[in-house]
Amino acid sequence: MNLQLDHKHVLITGGSKGIGLACAHVFLAEGARVSLISRSVDHLDRARAKLIGEWPNASVHTAIADLKDQAQAQAALLNAEAALGPVDVLVNSAGAARRTPAEELLPQDWRDAMDAKFFTYVNMMTPVGHLMRNRGQGCIVNVIGAGGKVASPSHLPGGAANAALMLATAGLAAALGAGGIRVNAVNPGSTHTERLAGGLAAMARMQGISEQQVLDDLCKKLPLGRLAEPEEVARVVAFLASPAASYITGVILSMDGGATPML
């Protein structure tokens, strides 16, 4: 499907692995130029080599930053725009709060979760939003997580951060719409990524069972009977970022395989 993303500059935070890297694959397949931001130079180098191996002529730029730091986020954005031009699409997929059973939680865990998930997004959305507003166009897609709508005893701080991001997404969509900017979010449920392992371990400790049993039980509860693949989430992100979704903004789209029936 041609999503009319040819030559668009797509900036992906957390783009070196998981859903972020899957998004890079999908956007490159659609003819876009991609900038990846991550804290790890090793992860970025591996991701870039993998992408260039598949699309030898693709434009793939990388920048190192800890997006919990506002100054580093700003520097990475300027670096990306210097390399590939103005950012047309921002995909936020960086950061994840550590899963901790409720009985082990300390106040610092809640603060850490906001730093790890909420501020990593806000520190990039804010300057990108200003630049897009000055240009009169742009699109932001936040990959958040189903835990912001359905409370999990092993993911309370992270779920709180996710819920805050949903509100920020809807609020920014309303605030920036007149400037030609669309802001949407995707809420994946459990997805086959490296981050899944941490969640399984926390749930296994809490329930006193093996990680494999947690995974088996999880899949049994899903109407589709399986976890999501990163590429499935990435395709939805690309759609929301494209002109095909030109009248969609302020939407929080659940992708949990039907795990939680809701209106």
DSSP, res 251: -
Cβ atoms 97, 161 nearer than 8 A: yes
Residue 263 has a pLDDT of: 63
Q: Which of 234, 208, 257, 183 is nearest to 18 (CA)?
A: 234
Q: Domain residue spans in the chain?
A: 9-255
How confident is the prediction for the chain on average, in pLDDT? 91
Under the banding of pLDDT at 50, 70 and 90, the label for residue 111 is very high
With b for 16 or more beta-carbon neighbours within 10 A and e for fewer, the 65-100 pattern comes to bbbbeeebbbebbebbbeebebbbbbbbbbbbbebb
Under the banding of pLDDT at 50, 70 and 90, the label for residue 198 is low
Three-state secondary-structure class, residue 74: helix
Residue 169 has a pLDDT of: 98
Q: Is the pLDDT of residue 197 over 70?
A: no
Q: Which two tokens stand for residue 54?
A: 């598949």
Phi, psi of 216 (to 5 degrees): -60, -45
Q: Domain 9-255 classified CATH 3.40.50.300?
A: no
